[in-house]
Amino acid sequence: MLRICQLRVGVATPKPSLFLPSFFFFSSFPSSSHTSFPRSTTFRFHPPLLSLPLPPFASVMPLKASASYSTGSSSADGGRPREILVQHLLVKEDDQKLLLDLQQRISAGEDLSDLAVEYSMCPSKEEGGMLGWVRKGQMVPEFEEAAFSAPLNKVVRCKTKFGWHLLQVLSEREESILQDIQPDELHVKIQDPNFLEEAQLIDVREPEEVAKASLPGFTVLPLRQFGTWGPEITTKFDPQKDTYVMCHHGVRSLQVSKWLQSQGFRKVYNLSGGIHAYAVQVDPSVPTY
């Protein structure tokens, strides 16, 4: 049973983390409009493990402009990277009795998501253990190996530094795309009326920033108002369409771009350097601030 996840902004940061430090987390917003968010803060929305602090032991390749951020395994049919939809529950390493009992109950027909709500140690229990769509390189190695090796819909178990997991892969698909787009590239596209009609353009700056400088065609979704627009993002925007995200310097927009990718958006483009770079490099008629 899939559960609809609820937004919780500014809650206490949970301790476990399956995800490596290549993802983004934020809940309390700094006063500066373009300051990078600290890794220790939390942005609570599904998939739930996006809300967890990440372990410091994983090395992360730096993100490069105009390069795809996609990483992943290859599917058996065609060698294309894939991503999987995963739910799980977590119990303590020494709680073997509970682990076996839960396995037996699942084998008898009980739903993993229902058991996760009642027994899981992971904060994702609030969403029935749903982790959302994940790709290789995001999770701790033991969990990743088990998840990407698991047959669809079969519950398997694995052990990590956090304890024992019972996990289930609900679906898989070809991996989505997240790329930087340079200001000059976006400028060329904006001149095409068909582009403005077909593409989805999102500006995550605050209203007072938009009043100072803006680009045509962008829908303003202020990051500080995520609690209002976040839960409705897939009803107001089409995940199958190309989506372009902009902020002041490209930091907030990259964070939102990654989140959009996790929500099932297939092709997401982050404006490198934000509207500031666009004004400086391409169109001096756009004010800087």
Residues assigned a catalytic role = 247
Sequential DSSP letters for 156-203: EEEEETTEEEEEEEEEEEEPPEEEEE-HHHHHHHHT-HHHHHHSEEEE
Which of 116, 118, 215 is CA-nearest to residue 167?
A: 116
Q: Are 49 and 143 in contact (CB under 8 A)?
A: no
Residue 99: strand, helix, or coil = helix
Strand 81-91 and strand 163-174: the pairing is antiparallel
Return d(Cα 141, Cα 133) in angstroms, integer.
17
CB-based burial label for 66 (10 Å; 0-12, 13-18, 19+): exposed
Contact of 244 with 269, CB cutoff 8 Å = yes
| CA 234 to chain CA mean position, Å | 14
Q: Are the C-beta atoms of residues 146 and 158 closer than 8 Å to each other?
A: yes
The first and second tokens of residue 277, run together, are 């770079």
